[in-house]
Amino acid sequence: MHILEAVILLMTLVVFSNVVDHFVPAVPVSLIQVVLGLAAALIMRVTIPLETDWFLLLFIAPLLFNDGRRFPKRELWKLRGPILTNAIVLVFLTTILGGLLFHLIIPTMPFSVSFALAAILSPTDPVAVQSISKRAKLPEGILHIVSGESLINDASGLIAFKYAIAATVTGVFSVKAAAIDFVYISIMGFISGLAIMGLILLIENWLYRQGINDVIFSTVLQVTTPFVVYLVTEEFLHASGVIAVVAAGIIFHFYGTSPDRSQPELKLVSEKTWDIIIYTLNGIVFLILGIELPLATTNVIQNNKINTFAALGISFLAWLILLAIRVAWIYAYQAVSSIRSRKIASIQTKLMPTFKAALLAGLSGVRGAVTMAGVLSIPMTVANGDSFPSRSLALFVAAGVIIISLVVATVTLPLISEDKAPLLTRANSTDNPDEIDSSPADGETEYISEDEARVYIMKLAVQRIEEERRPNNQKEAFDLILDYQFLIRRLELKLQDKKEMDSIIADELALRRVALRGERAAVQKLFDDQKISKQAFLIANAKLQRLENRMIRSVGRKVKLGRGTVRNFIKLRNRVSLWLIRRKTDEDISDELALIQREQAKAAISALSDYFARDDIDNQRFDSQSVYHLIVHYRNQIELAKDHSKKQINDQAMNYQSLRIKALAAEREGVQVLLEQGNIDWSMAAHLRQYINYSETVLIMDYQNE
């Protein structure tokens, strides 16, 4: 397959995988992508030629730069010592101990390959770690440490992996030479990242002072940065491009987004651009994993030295080894922390080591895109031209550990948390790691959910629109209220339990039937009084019939219409006849159709009023939001049926803009009220305000394009 076709196919499958994830949220999107890649390999015979150098450059550089760019600088900075210890010491402990145990259970795998496999399996997916750790309610210190080290351990794991691969390829390994080389490539990589990023920021600031402050230019420059940093460091300085891009990302995070740049839109555009890049690259990595699985599986099956089922068992044992090392390390960290805190009794009780917390922190170690990108970059051959030893088995085991860690996390997450939200990974999360934990701790105020907060502020917006409604802006007010009502209704249905939601929907359908009967009666009266023609009467009745059919389908009762050829032909003929009538007469009967629309809406409101006035009807049982939504809908229909000149249309656009701005102002006030009353935290308030800002930006763009 040509590279262009392969890229298009991979991008399409990434999009499709996230559509599937929407309907099957219990399964992590990364697993869905592996399955889709496997299907593409088996059904479409897709193959992706992998080159180690470009693969690391294309995937590792942007992923790690983004991790560094979002490096937390508040709570995690206070725990930088334990975090760095976890990210470096734990990685090398996993590499050495894990490598020895891997070689023990896989004697055919050389020591260097075992170490390489253990090293590349040590990094964890930072988003998945946070997703599990927050829901598992880990102690605060443990939560910050496992979240923080997952942002840094990619670099240390890849360095150890690179050394082990180099030892395998060259067949030479010297501890002294490796130690000296490690110091050089680490320190030089770090210095290189700082220097190149500093130079890029100086150039960007100089261009900004010269008037070159285009947002798109700055965003493209930012996206290009990790590739430049990685290439210059690797090719010219022969140091660690991995450390360089992480260092560059951290420096950019501290000094590249200063508020005095007077470009708030740059932050918005660049953040969303990075979200798209990480979303795409992460998905492609797991698709390639699925595509590579048949090759690895075939080679494992054909290998006389290892049984296929044994390979599956080895993958599970490898995951258990990694889990045991991680759990033991975190338990030991808790024990040391508790010993240091024994002078303070209250702190001592909080930091006493618990195996449950260590186990949950261990289970949070889901392997992700960096592990997969690294293992797929293993070269095909060594220096003398021979095949790389145990490459297929290493790929098979790595893929197995990734899948097992995802499956185990998916299964255990509902068991350890009351929050049923799905497991998040880099592929389906755009949250900023700087905001690690916004949920209240024990004993603190219980915050409302985001959906509840949005319902509250949107109801305030509707209230403000009602206050601003005047005879000259009725249509725009009802249009805007209807938009808000739709969003409120959708959110409220999400917040209701299934039984209550079914009851609300049933009551709403009953009200719509009452209104529909009123509409039918109004159309029939207009026709009987000869105020409308037969053509207009048929068109109006056909529209009402379609509405009724939709209502019937919505409750699962489909009209049985027979499948005979004659009946289908009659149905088709009636539709064609109605279309021809509409096409020929719409212009002639436009006034009649407007009259029908007005009278239908008035009759529907009247029918609903009469219905609620009946003694045998309990008005309290109906959801007030449903009733309000229905009334606004019909009042909007009345306004839509009125004649409007060109000047009136222009005035309507201005009225709509004015009402929308006032509604957004009411939403902002609502966010502030919720924050001051302690119903939401600062993180939630910022998120809600960001959504309001987006809406305001779109409003301004629409106004400029008119």
> Alpha-carbon distance 477 to 632, whole Å?
10
CA 519-525-529 angle, 5° bins:
150
Portions of the chain given CATH number 1.20.1530: 51-276+303-403
Give the residue from 675, 673, 672, 667 showing the smallest Cα distance to 693: 667
Is the CB of residue 223 less than 8 Å from the CB of residue 248? no
Mean pLDDT of 119-141: 69
Phi, psi of 417 (to 5 degrees): -145, 145
- pLDDT given for residue 248 in this prediction: 92
Give the span between the Cα atoms of 350 and 342, in whole angstroms.
Answer: 11
Count of CB atoms situated within 10 Å of the CB of 582: 16
Range with the poorest average pLDDT among 73-82, 203-212, 219-228: 73-82
Instruction: Tokens 């999400």: give the residue.
Output: 494
For 367, residues 6+ apart whose C-beta sits below 8 A from its C-beta are 121, 123, 124, 125, 398, 401, 402, 405, 406
More confident residue, 266 or 316: 316
Residue 354: is its pLDDT beyond 60?
A: yes
Task: Give the whole-angstrom CA distance, residue 243 versus residue 250.
Answer: 11
Residue-wise pLDDT tens digits, 157-167: 888 888 888 88
- Write phi, then psi, for 209 (nearest 5 degrees): -70, -25
Residue where the block lists tokens 């802006």: 473
The reported pLDDT for the residue numbered 318 is: 92
Question: What integer pLDDT is reported at residue 142 of this predicted model?
Answer: 65
Block residue for tokens 């080894």: 321
- Give bridge partners of residue 381 from the DSSP assignment: 387
Distance CA 96, CA 139 (A): 29
pLDDT (0 to 100) of residue 74 = 63
Q: Which two tokens stand for residue 161?
A: 């992996």
Q: Quote the pLDDT of residue 102.
A: 92
3-state secondary structure of 346: helix
Query: What is the Cα–Cα distance from 605 to 51, expressed in whole angstroms?
Result: 69
Q: What is the pLDDT of residue 224?
A: 94
- pLDDT of 465 > 70? The answer is yes
Classified as helix, coil or strand, 651 is helix
Q: Does domain 51-276+303-403 have CATH number 1.10.1740?
A: no
Q: What are the phi and psi torsion angles at 188 (to 5°)?
A: -65, -35
Cα 512 to Cα 251: distance, rounded to the nearest angstrom: 60
- Alpha carbon distance 658, 477 (integer Å): 10
Read off the pLDDT band of 643 (50, 70, 90). low
Q: Give residue 586's pLDDT band: very low, low, confident or very high (50, 70, 90).
A: very low
Contact 138, 107 (CB under 8 A): no
Q: What are phi and psi of 586, to 5 degrees?
A: -55, -40
Average pLDDT, the chain: 77
Find the mean pLDDT for residues 342-364: 61
Q: In Å, how far are 61, 154, 417, 424 from 270, measured between CA atoms?
A: 17, 23, 34, 22
Residue 168 φ/ψ, nearest 5 degrees: -70, -45
The whole-model pTM stands at: 0.66
Determine the Cα–Cα distance for residues 193 and 190; give it in Å rounded to an integer: 5
DSSP string, 373-404: HHHHT--SB-TTSPBPTTHHHHHHHHHHHHHH
- More reliable by pLDDT, 82 or 383: 383
| Average pLDDT, integer, range 433-443 | 45
Average of per-residue pLDDT across 558-586 = 45
Per residue in 604-623, pLDDT tens? 888 888 888 887 777 777 76
Residue pLDDT, tens place only, 39-92: 998 888 888 776 767 777 888 889 888 877 876 666 556 666 667 776 778 888
Give the per-residue SS3 of 668-700: HHHHHHHHHCCCCCHHHHHHHHHHHHHHHHHHH
Contact assessment for residue 64 and residue 226, using Cβ atoms and an 8 Å cutoff: yes
Question: Which tens digit of pLDDT belongs to each residue from 296-320?
Answer: 777 776 666 677 778 889 999 999 9
Q: What is the pLDDT of residues 482-541, one digit of tens each?
A: 788 778 877 877 777 666 666 777 777 788 888 888 888 988 988 888 888 888 888 888
Phi/psi of residue 363, each to 5°?
A: -65, -20
Say yes or no to pLDDT of 36 above 90: yes
Closest CA to 140 of 79, 68, 80: 79
Mean pLDDT of the region 544-573: 52
Block residue for tokens 């150890």: 160
CA distance 430 to 615: 54
- Per-residue pLDDT, 669: 92
Q: How far apart are CA 528 and CA 522, in angstroms?
A: 10
**Strand runs labelled E in 262-416:** none
